[in-house]
Chains A and B, each alone.
Chain A
């Protein structure tokens, strides 16, 4: 009898010990700043549910790639996807975890939110300094109903290297050959004209303060700062308004199934209602992991986020990944992540 009590006590205390050990477990990751707010929201909720915490260092996409290549973290995060050959060279896999839209914001006295219409060619012209006044013919042609003032245009761009820069220049380089040749795409480019402001918030405040300014920010910042967003012409030739619906439309038209290594930038996607500048934020992990448990914990978290993270994401103006894409990631990408024994570390 006494023995049994002792055994029960022992097993209970062991079980307790096991749970408290699990509570101390954390997932380590580093990278992009843009998805950081939603990752930390998810992490809070996930810790409440499972007891496993997330230690995510928002050090920027470039830093995330460096850290995962050096294997100092379990996963890296980047706003710009890595090219398939780079992935292969470093034996990494990547998948999209969350999406967001980049929107052009304008400040012209007398022009309402969502009233101004622009197309890619014009936007590229403005950012190259070729179109320098709001009453320029190119803009007037797109906006026959608007009375455009004689006001100098001040283009505002992101001064530091950023995923937002990458999405925006990637879009402009696709729609304007001139832009592609003279400026090109990248996280950090040399803008021929305009003013560089720091971070999304800096661009938002500069545009908010300057009459005649135009900028581009993650959609959440446009909303928070009450900035006027311009309509953009998409690939189908329709003018679309920025918002969850048009972002989602772009995302659902994206052809993830045929993207090698999931290398896909969601700019200029087909579809009548697609917003032309949508981007996914990617997670990077090694295909051969030393610590299978750590990798499994990370994948459990991302699986949980695919299933339960949509509401938190929408509240923060992000676009959750559609379920079919999540399924594809589970089946085709996560199955490539193998432990030291050669078995996939994560099973559905």
Chain B
């Protein structure tokens, strides 16, 4: 199934740019077929029930030295839910892109990249081997690099693409160490393998038995945290969250695809996939819970003070991913994944809605320069409202059910710290979404150019609004498959686990918090409808507002620490070279002094030699002087230096024993 988009991507890249219709047809056709297959697989899995053993196909990829590296595919409820969601949401985004990217020169290439991205994404969902998962993971990374930097004429887009690639790679480093270590320890990197996979009891037991590896954690926990490093990078968790908002430089459908439904969710999915490793050590889960909840709060606070409509959504995504991580940590796979699925629908809806707004208001992205769009953009407005209600957690929209389950689980697990953080975060979520809706859709039109001419917004074409409407239906209703009264979703993913009972009091509290956020947002922005473009009532709260506006100064912090450190190290190499030069000069100076002494005492021997040397130097001098002979001496001294150090080291070690 991932092969279809892969083929479409490869063929699409070879097509000339003028073959627009063919490129589009190919991409949508391939993904449509994938979507049909995966929905079929989901239905089959539902029929078989959550108790059925996972369907596993393994094969040997290569073998060396008596051990084999196997790859494989797995189909279990987790996979089935994920592939169905990914292919379905991606299909809608493809259709939306047709309208959005219609005027772009490289339209055909865009769809090739999108297909490639989906191939990687689906591949990583069905992989039954950590190496195959990592391969797909990297394909996703590379194609997102290409997509974010798609408008590479814009320097900021190219920079954002590079940043995304490098920052996520930093997380992948830990992930790769985890895979290598796991493979070295157990001799396998298959997830399920007839009882011998790393997620099955025999291996888990041996990993759990290796205790005290790192701060008293067992090996399973340490490996889980290394894998979590990859998830932190991909899912934009603190402290690697800095790439995600910058990645908004890509075309908006890309933002929707990468930042709502799929790529960022890949990190959450990875944790869900390898959950038995995390569950083997409570400390690993604690780390996930704290990282998740802190990220949720951090990103929510930053979102409050942003002005770019897509950036707000980006920080909101970071925040919601934090919720999912917390859900995994305190409630298990089903709780985290439920929020992932609901979020995928309503956040894709919001991003595409934002794309429609941007498209309709002449590529204006500053929410303080919009306003009053509820009139001209009725469909967009209504669907956006649905997405907002879902994100803010209003009963009975999708986000309410999934978020409520996370908070309830945190409470039951006595994780009061993370619970408090996310409670505040969900208040802020309702607040900043209301702020956004009020500024964009209500009040007067503030989208005026410097001459005072107002830009009049227009509704987007059907190929853009139709996906919005379909997504809106799901954003409103998908939560109903996981209500506490009939938790179909939870029983499907985790048939044996206990699921939280309905708790009406708790729901009431959550609703009050959400309504409080909405009320506060409306009170500040709904009636004020600031006339001039720079008026944010919150800006009066200084210096807090500036602190939030500058995103807690994380970029600046990294620029002054990590980046500078690397630069210093790189320059250190040059500095040491210079020092070596100095040493060489000192030595040659000493030698020269010695030669002087010889010259005075042994004039008659030295003089003829010197005359000979002088003659030689005259002949070769012209050429040699231009050859920077000093640096040759340095090279030679480096060799001697190295030999001396190595010899000294060996002899030292030998005699020290």
Asked whether A and B interact, the reply is no
Chain A interface residues toward B at CB < 8 A: none
